[in-house]
Amino acid sequence: DVKVTQSSRYLVKRTGEKVFLECVQDMDHENMFWYRQDPGLGLRLIYFSYDVKMKEKGDIPEGYSVSREKKERFSLILESASTNQTSMYLCASSYRDRGPGANVLTFGAGSRLTVL
Amino acid sequence: AQSVAQPEDQVNVAEGNPLTVKCTYSVSGNPYLFWYVQYPNRGLQFLLKYITGDNLVKGSYGFEAEFNKSQTSFHLKKPSALVSDSALYFCAVREAGTALIFGKGTTLSVSS
């Protein structure tokens, strides 16, 4: 089974702290994504990456940055955490457009971040 | 720009009855359409997808969805609901070369 592992299940940080959320996948997927999930708002795309060292902004990139130095790892960085970034963060990965598994996202369990 | 709408925040059905969870979309080209499910305290799981071909798509756990191009809809259906189907359901859409965009989700509650 494909596994997408998010390093922290729960985090509590203070306003202004720098926060790193790590995500690792073990199926050689080209594509990786970061979403945040908030009640009533569904999933909103923050950033995604189609290849190593590549990144694309999603719908809500403000206040976030990402890093993809290795194919299997995609990190989400909050440079200066704010209370409105309290949320559930979901990492996902997928193959590029090929084969029956193409386009199907496999999600991690999520990282619930609370910013005080 | 692509978008997806789930018009119902919650759908309530009795066990054994058919269920429908609605989804409409807007894209400029051919859509890639998906349904995902999130059970309580668990991650999102893929249910089914439509890329091309038959308009009726069958997926996991007895779910199916019908692609209707003229109505730009992709409703999720199941002939006979189970209590264990109670969960949060997300419709998602993408165009070629873009990332997946999700709806706001619909909570399905199946009563015994």
**Inter-chain CB proximity A103 and B102 less than 8 Å:** no
**Token pair of A43, please?**
């999933």
Chain B residues close to A59, C-beta within 8 Å? 101
**What pLDDT, on a 0 to 100 scale, did the predictor assign at position A100?**
53
Q: Answer left, alpha or beta for residue A16, where phi above 0 means left and psi between -120 and 50 means alpha.
A: left
Q: CA-nearest residue of chain A to B7?
A: A40
Chain A residues in contact with chain B using a Cβ-Cβ cutoff of 8 Å: 33, 35, 40-45, 48, 56, 58-59, 90, 92, 97, 103-110
Q: Which tens digits make up the pLDDT trace of A71-81?
A: 999 999 999 99
**Inter-chain CB proximity B102 and A35 less than 8 Å:** yes
Best of B44, B49, B52 to disrupt the A interface (most A CBs within 10 Å) is B44
**Inter-chain CB proximity B100 and A105 less than 8 Å:** yes
**Token pair of A23, please?**
């995500």
Q: Which tens digits make up the pLDDT trace of B34-89?
A: 999 999 878 899 999 998 888 999 999 999 999 999 999 999 999 999 999 999 99
**Inter-chain CB proximity A40 and B51 less than 8 Å:** no
Those residues whose C-beta lies under 8 Å from the C-beta of residue B78, and which sit 6 or more positions away, are B18, B19, B61, B62, B63, B64, B85
**What pLDDT, on a 0 to 100 scale, did the predictor assign at position B95?**
80
